[in-house]
Amino acid sequence: MYRYCPEGKNYTTDNPLTLEADDKATTGAYVPFGEATKDGQLIRGEVPCSGAIYKMRPDGSDFQLIAWGFRNPYGLAFSPDGQLFTTENGFDSRGSRPVVNSLDHLWKVEQGAWYGWPDYSGGVLLSDESFVRRGEENAALLLKDYPQQPPKPVALFGIHSSSNGIDFSRSTTFGHQGEAFVAQFGDMTPITGKMSSPVGFKVVKVNVETGEVEDFVSNKKIGPGYSASGGGLERPVSVSFSPDGNSLYIVDFGKMVISPVGPDPERESGAVWKITKK
């Protein structure tokens, strides 16, 4: 496993493990909370690790690392030709190392590939000017060198769209064979970063050959159904085609209001939607 070489960049934050209001903790990259790192320190990677995709037999044996270096890989699905794809939620503009303007991604999963976390977003280094607000500094790069140049995403989704569950159409009756369908949970403004208008709250389809993304199911007004007072999709979290491929099911998490304190989901507001071709 690759050995990480942190730049010795540490972050001091409030310590949530004590009751003292002014207690602080200093933490570096790839070490336990409260442990600082030094410039040039080598840290051996271990399996299992987070931000990775694995395969194993149903009984848990033959556990193998397939790909790593993801921030938050969410949905997994095989295309009709047997290629594995995953959706990924991009960086948030919060915490000790906020990153702005980080898109969500659709990746083709390749054996042994590294996808860029924690210093790349969508194959672009975080030192790029697109990831910084005017008058502020870029997020510090945490690694001295990299196992490889990360690949480019198959497709790009909206910033904070929370592009999650994925499935592929295989039906001539439903249409769009070979295209990916992705549920977008929607932004969580303001806790993950402020947006000027709602992003996500819909299901999109993706041509995985060209990277073209199109809305497939959405409300007339962009945003959750409750905000338009007319019903509709609230927060689509997953999609799945029926066994015969002729129907698309959408799992809708339901109403969830976001405040500076955090999310407030409404009980019994979720739903499952069924989409069929007329």
Per-residue pLDDT tens digits for 147-157: 899 999 999 99
Name the 3-class secondary structure at 44. Answer: strand
Q: Which amino acid is at 202?
A: K
DSSP-based three-state secondary structure for 1: coil
Question: What span, in angstroms and rounded, lies between the C-alpha atoms of 166 and 108?
Answer: 13
Report d(CA 113, CA 167) in Å as an integer: 22
Question: According to the model, what pLDDT value does residue 72 have?
Answer: 96
**Domain count for the chain:** 2
| Residues 109, 202 within the same domain | yes
Residue 168 tokens read as 């592929």
185-209 pLDDT, tens digit per residue, is: 999 998 888 888 899 999 999 999 9
Whether the Cβ atoms of residue 254 and residue 266 lie closer than 8 Å to each other: yes
pLDDT of residue 168: 98
Beta partners for residue 64, in sequence order: 55
CA–CA gap between residue 226 and residue 275 (Å, rounded): 21
Phi then psi for 130, rounded to 5 degrees?
-70, -15
The answer to whether position 98 is within a domain reads yes
Residue 1 confidence (pLDDT):
53
Tell me, yes or no, whether 136 and 62 share the same domain: yes
Query: Do 17 and 94 reside in the same domain of the chain?
Result: no
pLDDT of residue 242: 97
Residues 197 and 81 placed together within one structural domain of the fold: yes
Are 192 and 149 found together in one domain? yes
Instruction: Write out the residue range of the structural domain in which residue 39 sits.
Output: 1-46
Lookup: tokens for 257:
């209001």
The ranges of the chain with pLDDT < 70 are 1-6, 228-230
By CB atoms closer than 10 A (0-12, 13-18, 19+), residue 275 is middle
The C-alpha atoms of residue 161 and residue 187 are separated, in whole angstroms, by: 5
Please give the pLDDT value at position 228: 63
Position 52 in a domain = no
Pair 116, 24 in one domain: no
Which two structure tokens, joined as six digits, stand for 263?
């999310």
**What integer pLDDT is reported at residue 149 of this predicted model?**
95
Asked if residue 220 and residue 83 are part of one domain, the reply reads yes
CA distances from 170 to 84, 207, 232 (A): 15, 13, 26
Domain membership of residue 111 (yes or no) is yes
According to the model, what pLDDT value does residue 2 have? 56
Asked, for residue 78, whether it belongs to a domain, the answer is yes
- Whole-angstrom distance, CA of residue 69 vs CA of residue 265: 31
Cα–Cα distance, 263 to 3 (Å, whole number): 37
- Does the CA dihedral 119-121-125-129 come out positive or negative? negative
